[in-house]
Structure 1
Amino acid sequence: MSSDFTTHEALEHCITHTDVPALPEPYKGKVREVYPLDNDRLGIVVTDRISAFDHIMRQAIPFKGQILNQLAAFSFEKVKDIVATHIIDVLHPNVTIAKKCETVPIEVVVRAYLTGHAWRVYKSDERTLCGVEMPDGLNEHDKFPSPILTPATKALEGHDEDISEEEILSRKIVEPALWNEIKEAAFRLFERGTKVAAEQGLILVDTKYEFGLYKGELTLIDEVHTTDSSRYFYKDGYEERQAKGEGQKQLSKEFLREWLMKHDFQGLEGQTLPDLPDEFRMEVYNRYAELFEMLTGNKFKPVLEKNFNKTLGEILR
């Protein structure tokens, strides 16, 4: 492992896939690769892949996996008094050992501002999102009177789909008592995330939570309050920018979505996924590193792995 490298080396040695012959084939998500270690534990590898509009980009982002994994570990630590988390240990900047949970097939997004997907729904003259009524008279990036919870089904392939609380319960996807526990945990987590962000000069705009059950206990899994699961505005100047009708300065993956839209891609049929230029890939890395440093108060120190699979095999075996 080395912390001395060139931009070319950083771009060349992104972690895009893993292979540990001594272990079973991992489950491959959009970003993570998950190895079953035994009946109770998983080895979770956070790669440098990046996705948007439910498509994985062909080019990866240097050190993105290290940033996400370490930011998630930092944020899990901040909320572990609210709900149990799946973290057992972080053995490498890219690798977490976690509890093996039974996944709840619903993810929940808590939104405090009319931004992103919520705004796209709102400006199409819809006022209901996942069964939740949004008030009239709002502008993009305005704050809701109080945070709203918008669930989605977890798709194994393709798009996650919005769903209402009523549908979740009527289709018996989640039992009522567990759903109430999830809702309560989600709002408490969002409150804590908002507080942590505010201390660092940021606004937590919206974020996604995923849950599982570990030996019957509700457990927070996947990631929490990272750039891939959350959107942040800069607190300084927010009111002034809203008053002028200007766009908000934000730290999130939205800038990648905006870049793709400028290049005529929104994941729709017939559209061609564009390649990410090297200069833009480094710009994305710098944005991820900036959020890590703002949220944690620590300098991000990237570590270059030229033979990550060998290192991973040693860790997981």
Structure 2
Amino acid sequence: MSLADKVLAVNNDLPIRTDSPVHSGKVRSVYWLSAQDSARLIAERGYDVASDAPLAIMVISDRISAFECIWHGEGGMQGVPGKGAALNAISNHWFDLFRTRGLADSHILEVPHPLVWIVQKARPVMIEAIARQYITGSMWRAYDKGERDFCGIILPDGLHRDQRLPELLITPSSKGILTGIPGVPEVDDVNITRSDIENNVAAFKFQAAADIDLYERLLREGFEVIGGELEKLDQVFVDTKFEFGYVTDKAGSEKLIYMDEVGTPDSSRIWDGPSLRDGKVVENSKEVFRQLLLNHFPEPDILLNKARMEERTALARDNALPTDMLIKVSETYVGIAQKITGRSLQQSDNPKAEILDILRDEYALVD
């Protein structure tokens, strides 16, 4: 079996029993189960959710996106070996730690396979919350051009690239296109301030104004938990994205939970500690892949300039990346997953067959 065969590139074609269209994102596909199958699993598996909660099977792929495009490699390699399993393993690790530390639950109910989650449907808060401990990436580029106001937070002059900030900054953006919010453009992923949220609690799908403080506390505490654990591994937690939503437990209580993924190389920047002390930034995140792309193509402006999106899309479609580039990215993902979890990463030789066998034999979800 070739390396390309071990990559799960297409994850929206599995014959999982569902009566709704499969929702397929850049990396994950979601199969919403029927009300009957959801209720059966809740009863059989003893999940702490309402008896009528909608459940889904979430299957992660090994696809890799960057600069808003999906990329592929030579020899039919349609993703990065081990990437999906690495992302899931890291998220599972942090979600479990959050739960044991008393922070909050997540949307994950069970992990039947390294590439699969069984999840409950959450009512998402319409915010992507970015927590930043260092000034780097897009924030640095804006700062370097003279911008000082970031989501209502004014930064002082004189900061340097990759400098640790005096305090953890929360720079939220809108999740999806929100309408009717004064001062907030009706486009996806636009920066917002805490005042925007406080003045439009219902529009951002918070159930109560007090939950804004709760969301910020969970964000800060989540960052501190991950940052503290990474520090033990001599890794630096630079910045990350958090998402939140509401669910109802078995007792009928509403609660705010973490959702999506947390502390992964896709959603975070993680730097190597020893290298940083030597004055060099070495990434253990998707930034490795972004930099490889910028160095690989002779005209990096295509990747950075949103006005050239059509050219960028063609670049991703028409160029198979070298195998050694994707292997380097694989080593980054697998390496940081094993470092964080303290275990060898379980990877599949035939992921689709394994997933279907488990979902058929143990969960009766494949006809």
CA gap 1:55/1:8 in 2 versus in 1, 3 angstroms: closer
Which is further off, 259-268 or 105-114?
259-268
- 1:146 pairs with one of 156, 167, 187: 167
Does residue 207 of structure 2 align to residue 186 of structure 1?
A: no
User: Hey, what does 1:75 align to over in structure 2?
Assistant: 94
User: Hey, what does 1:64 align to over in structure 2?
Assistant: 83
* Pairwise CA distance, 1:102: 0.6
Which is further off, 21-30 or 41-50?
21-30
Post-superposition Cα deviations, 1:41-91, rounded to whole Å, max 9, x if no partner, equal 221111112222233334321221111111111111111121122221100
User: Hey, what does 1:259 align to over in structure 2?
Assistant: 292
User: Hey, what does 1:170 align to over in structure 2?
Assistant: 199
With normalisation by structure 1, the TM-score equals: 0.89
User: Hey, what does 2:115 align to over in structure 1?
Assistant: 94
- 1:226 pairs with one of 264, 267, 270: 264
Does residue 139 of structure 2 align to residue 106 of structure 1?
A: no
What one-letter code is carried by the residue in structure 1 that aligns with 2:130? V
* CA contact 2:11–2:59 (8 Å) conserved in 1: no
Give the secondary-structure state (helix, strand or coil) at the position aligned to 1:69.
helix
* Pairwise CA distance, 1:8: 4.5
With normalisation by structure 2, the TM-score equals: 0.77
Larger-gyration structure (1/2): 2
Give the secondary-structure state (helix, strand or coil) at the position aligned to 1:249.
coil
Post-superposition Cα deviations, 1:204-249, rounded to whole Å, max 9, x if no partner, equal 10111110000220011111111111111111142330xxxxx411
CA gap 1:162/1:55 in 2 versus in 1, 3 angstroms: farther
* Pairwise CA distance, 1:21: 5.5
CA gap 1:267/1:291 in 2 versus in 1, 3 angstroms: farther
Matches within 5 A, 1:1-317: 6-10=2-6, 14-20=9-15, 22-23=17-18, 24-37=20-33, 38=38, 39-40=52-53, 41-58=55-72, 59-80=78-99, 81-155=102-176, 160-172=189-201, 173=204, 174=206, 175-215=208-248, 216-241=254-279, 247-262=280-295, 263=297, 264=300, 265-266=303-304, 268=306, 269-272=309-312, 273-274=315-316, 275=319, 276-305=321-350, 307-308=352-353, 310-311=356-357, 314=360, 317=365
What one-letter code is carried by the residue in structure 2 that aligns with 1:121? A
Which is further off, 255-264 or 73-82?
255-264
Identity of aligned residues (%): 28
**Which structure has more helix as a fraction of its residues?**
2
Structure 1: which 5+ residue stretches go unaligned? 242-246
* Pairwise CA distance, 1:111: 0.4
* CA contact 1:121–1:129 (8 Å) conserved in 2: no
CA distance in 2, matches of 1:48, 1:316: 25
CA gap 1:209/1:285 in 2 versus in 1, 3 angstroms: same
Post-superposition Cα deviations, 1:159-182, rounded to whole Å, max 9, x if no partner, equal 522221122223332452121110
* Pairwise CA distance, 1:283: 1.4
Which is further off, 138-147 or 272-281?
272-281
CA distance in 1, matches of 2:2, 2:338: 21
Post-superposition Cα deviations, 1:262-314, rounded to whole Å, max 9, x if no partner, equal 42323623323333332211211111001111212212232122644744752
